[in-house]
Structure 1
Amino acid sequence: MRPIPLRGRPLAGGAMPAVCVPLVARTPDALLAEAAAAVAGAPHLLEWRVDFLDGIERTADVVALARRLKQVAGELPVLFTCRAPQEGGQPTVLSADRVAELHAAVAASGAIDLVDIEMAAQPRHLAAVSGAARAHGLTLVLSFHDFQRTPPPDELLARFRQAHALGADVGKVAVMPHTPGDVLALLQATWQASEALPIAVAGMAMGPLGAASRIVGGQFGSALTFAAGQAASAPGQLPLGELRTALDVLGRASAR
């Protein structure tokens, strides 16, 4: 099992899973306040879901806000994500070309540490974002989301393999379960990927039924889990304090 790499070192000292709080505010002031509240809860990293931001089309303003956000985050790494609507993101006025350009501009700002883009993005956009990540020493997360169903384990494993083939540092797969068996399928594929691939992987089942995967995922090789701060970015995210408590209990039990 591999923790997430960050500038040559394991994120969060190698914690499995690292705990991330998403930031989904729509205005700069609200974003910075949301970040300050999240930092007080002591997660391992923050995710800025910039697709929620009003004014996302003003690249210079987004870059300036990224720098202000980094000041609030302090030592906490920041993951930058502009989630595509077809994978659960907010609709924006940006074209796919503009999204790739925004990633490159923010990557060059020195204000972020990790960047996420969907594996389903067009190859030239993937190449642009991957190139920006490499040029600026950022950790590259390549992700897949299915908000409708849970594909079978072999298809989920193929998604993790695809992330590796595309050059990811982290392969992320999030799916919607409809039965407990779907949650097991996600955990099984995550475990298999963590054993078979030389990159960090993150697997999670969404919604209330998938909440268990956000707690026990690290035991199955998932290097990342998400907890709600002031608001959730996906269904089933547990409040940060509750998730930390559950992870602490599981960690103590596993160490006996």
Structure 2
Amino acid sequence: MAKKQIEPGTKPLICTPLVGTTKELIFEQLQQVLSKRPDVIEWRADFFQDIANTDAVVAIAKQIQALCGDAPLIFTIRSQFEGGQPIALSDAEVIELDAAICKAAAAEYVDCELRNDLQRINKLRQAASQSGTKIIGSFHNFHQTPSRADIVNKLAEAAEKQLDVAKVAVMPQTLEDVLTLLSATLEAKSRLSIPLITMSMGKYGMVSRMIGGVFGTSLTFAVGAQASAPGQVPIEELRTVLQTVENTMGN
């Protein structure tokens, strides 16, 4: 079965996260999520308590992938520095695990934080190229919203580092911050050729998850079983809003 692709477009794909701490909880969440028919599944492996066991992580990823149908799998280890869970792996070891996922073709996409140095990113790119895995270059700020120029530059950095998708998630303090994120997304859409994933988090930013596609984001996150970031809304509600936006804009 052909997997969906994260591509530029007006109606973003809906991604739901898996945040279980054990294998049993992960697959329990997966069953709940699959019943709601998301376009994409993300496994937030930083929640997994046995993350240091590479063989176990790769095996679980392949099992998740096999159950996802046409929904591609994003494998993500979010660092504590960018809002993830504390884990017993160094940044270098995270890249090693990401590379193992790529070599095993156990996910269609692997998330890589842009703060990694170029040597690590190139190592991951080499592993990904062997299996056709795509890399999402990501940046998260859970404290504030950078300037429009800084957001655009972060998205451009992913393209400059020859990654396949650019992702930025920021925290707004005001509604004006949400406008900054949306405006930056629109500018980046006109400048970059790779797909973009952007969002403003929290209660103010919730609207960006609903109308971000109009401004250029190709994917938005929704709650299937349990949220992985503040401001995510239930998938059923988000799907209704996205369909309304699509119908109204005539796409």
State TM-score, norm by structure 1: 0.93
SS in 2 for 1:32: helix
Instruction: Give RMSD over aligned pairs.
Output: 1.8
Aligned residues of 2:138 and 2:166 also touching (Cα < 8 A)? yes
Structure 1 counterpart of 2:115, one-letter code: A
Residue 83 of structure 1: aligned partner: 78
Structure 1 counterpart of 2:196, one-letter code: V
SS in 2 for 1:38: helix
2:98 and 2:45 mapped to 1: Cα distance?
Answer: 10
Residue 126 of structure 1: aligned partner: 121
What does the per-residue CA deviation read over 1:84-132, in whole Å, with 9 as the maximum and x for residues that have no partner? 1100111100112211111111112222100111100122221222222
Residue 247 of structure 2: aligned partner: 252
Residue 52 of structure 1: aligned partner: 47
Task: Compute the displacement of 1:39 (Å).
Answer: 1.3
Aligned residues of 1:96 and 1:125 also touching (Cα < 8 A)? no
Task: Compute the displacement of 1:12 (Å).
Answer: 7.8
Select 1:95's aligned residue among 64, 74, 90.
90
Structure 1 counterpart of 2:170, one-letter code: V
1:135 and 1:154 mapped to 2: Cα distance?
Answer: 34
Aligned residues of 1:36 and 1:72 also touching (Cα < 8 A)? no
Pair 1:62 & 2:57 matched: yes
Aligned residues of 1:19 and 1:227 also touching (Cα < 8 A)? yes
SS in 2 for 1:216: helix
2:71 and 2:239 mapped to 1: Cα distance?
Answer: 16
Task: Compute the displacement of 1:236 (Å).
Answer: 0.4
Residue 104 of structure 1: aligned partner: 99
Percent identity over paired residues: 38
Unaligned stretches of 5+ in structure 2?
A: none
Structure 1 counterpart of 2:60, one-letter code: L
How has the CA–CA distance of structure 1 residues 14 and 179 changed in structure 2, closer, same or farther, with 3 Å as cutoff?
Answer: closer
Structure 2 counterpart of 1:236, one-letter code: G
1:110 and 1:155 mapped to 2: Cα distance?
Answer: 33
Aligned residues of 1:12 and 1:44 also touching (Cα < 8 A)? no
1:161 and 1:12 mapped to 2: Cα distance?
Answer: 16
Task: Compute the displacement of 1:74 (Å).
Answer: 2.4
Aligned residues of 1:227 and 1:238 also touching (Cα < 8 A)? yes
Residue 26 of structure 1: aligned partner: 21
2:169 and 2:52 mapped to 1: Cα distance?
Answer: 27
Aligned residues of 1:18 and 1:225 also touching (Cα < 8 A)? yes
Task: Compute the displacement of 1:66 (Å).
Answer: 1.2
Unaligned stretches of 5+ in structure 1?
A: 1-5
How has the CA–CA distance of structure 1 residues 151 and 98 changed in structure 2, closer, same or farther, with 3 Å as cutoff?
Answer: same
State TM-score, norm by structure 2: 0.95
Residues paired across the two proteins, number: 250
1:131 and 1:32 mapped to 2: Cα distance?
Answer: 30
